[in-house]
Amino acid sequence: MRDAVLSALSTVNDPELHRDLVSLGMIEQVQIEAGAVHVKVNLTTPACPLKGQIESDVRAAVLTVPGVQTVNVTFGATVRAAVMALPGVKHVVLVGSGKGGVGKSSVAVNLAAALARDGARVGLLDADVYGPSVAHMMGQGAARVSANAERKMQPIEAHGLRFLSMANLSPAGQALVWRGPMLHSAVQQFIKDAAWGELDYLIVDLPPGTGDVQLSLTQTVQVTGAVIVTTPQAVALIDAARAVDMFRKASVPVLGVIENMSYFVAPDTGITYDLFGRGGSRQLGEYPLLGEIPLEVALREDADAGTPAVLAHPQAPASVALAQAARRLAGQISVRAEHRALADLPGQLTVV
Ligand SMILES: Nc1ncnc2c1ncn2[C@@H]1O[C@H](COP(=O)(O)OP(=O)(O)OP(=O)(O)O)[C@@H](O)[C@H]1O
């Protein structure tokens, strides 16, 4: 019966990778006892957006095998990467925006927290050196970065992830008056001289715009891709298009767009207002729209209170949209990793 079960499983495709689970090496275990079959599927990310579909497809396929009465599906996950971005770090993902104030840091913090909540090992680097806000949003504005025994910067741990921010290097409340090259080398150090440990995803909150820090980062590490955060109105989109162009020129794939402050639902009437013209980000090109995040008081309040909204108010509509965006992003990263692996090693997917 085992062969029949495996052959049934080889008809089930991963919905995003468009290859079957057996040849993708995703079937970790098959146990058969009388008519009861247990299948363990090893997903390419714990934040898999299509877990439910894979489960029902596996169940339906195995139930076609004569003699099978029940099917139990469980999941594990190993994030795959064709190459390591840094020693121990599988994927570096840049979060950028064309202009300031569109909610880039809020999105970066919540994407990181959502991926960590789903079970991924996540780091968050605040490379927004001119206006570092990640530490405050993580409730760690007063924490100070220490060095470990190897004299490497030790990321601060909070809310299930590790992060580093310039705000935790300087005395609280004081501005860092550094010149461009110093900022450049500070960001390089954050990446290379920090004890990030083993990470599936290192999310980088870039400064707004298309300046030196952004470019130097794309030249420092193997970046898996970038996420563009924008608001839907024309003035923001023009700048976002510039950010897209910068990544294109630096050969950094754009993994998707997140439209923030997309709409507002009045809490008293329930009426939806498209304050800035919802859906405008589709004009940026054929990039996956990872999410439309509503304007919501709770998101701002949670940021000010130092807990990412996806953790503090997981049921709030903005949190639901952000958690979904994080899963779609993880899905896009898996697709990239597979394409890259196939390009490098035809027919094989490297698991690191
Ligand atoms: N969807 C939203 N609903 C309500 N408030 C939001 C939303 N997104 C962001 N904000 C609030 O807007 C302000 C700016 O957000 P944030 O600091 O994340 O923007 P940014 O693009 O990173 O800015 P900068 O680039 O200038 O650092 C913050 O007070 C944040 O809490």
For 212-222, the pLDDT digits (tens) are: 777 788 888 88
What does the pLDDT read at residue 181?
66
What does the pLDDT read at residue 347?
40
Check: complex ipTM more than 0.85: yes
Please write the tens of the pLDDT for every residue from 170-198: 665 565 666 666 777 788 888 888 999 99
Between vectors from CA 93 to CA 146 and to CA 83, what angle results, nearest 5°?
Answer: 95
Closest CA to 123 of 205, 187, 182: 205
Query: Mind spelling out the 3-state secondary structure of 194-218?
Result: ECCCCEEEEEEECCCCCCHHHHHHH
Q: Which residue has the tokens 């570096």?
A: 92
pLDDT average, residue stretch 80-93: 92
Report the share of the chain in percent with pLDDT over 90.
62
Q: Pick the residue whose CA is nearest to atom 30 on ligand 1.
A: 300
Q: Which helix (H) or strand (E) holds 189?
A: helix 180-192
Residue 351 pLDDT exceeds 50: no
User: In angstroms, what is the span from residue 64 Cα to ligand 1's centroid?
Assistant: 51
Integer angstrom CA distances of residue 271 from 78, 183, 293: 42, 45, 16
Report the share of the chain in percent with pLDDT over 70.
93
Please give the Cα distance from 224 to 81 (Å, whole number): 9
pLDDT average, residue stretch 231-244: 86
Q: Which helix (H) or strand (E) holds 7?
A: helix 2-9
Closest CA to 246 of 290, 208, 193, 291: 208
pLDDT average, residue stretch 46-59: 94
User: In angstroms, what is the span from residue 104 Cα to ligand 1's centroid?
Assistant: 6
Question: Is position 67 annotated in a ligand binding site?
Answer: no
What does the pLDDT read at residue 179?
64
Protein residues whose CB sits closer than 6 Å to any atom of ligand 1:
97, 100-106, 128, 131, 133, 208, 260-261, 293, 295-296, 299-300, 303, 318
Q: What is the mean pLDDT of the chain?
A: 89
Residue 233 pLDDT exceeds 90: no
Specify the ligand 1 atom closest to the Cα of 303. 31
Q: Pick the residue whose CA is nearest to atom 12 on ligand 1.
A: 103
What does the pLDDT read at residue 76?
95
Residue 310: both structure tokens together: 């996806």
Domains annotated on the chain, with CATH: 2-77 (3.30.300.130), 89-344 (3.40.50.300)
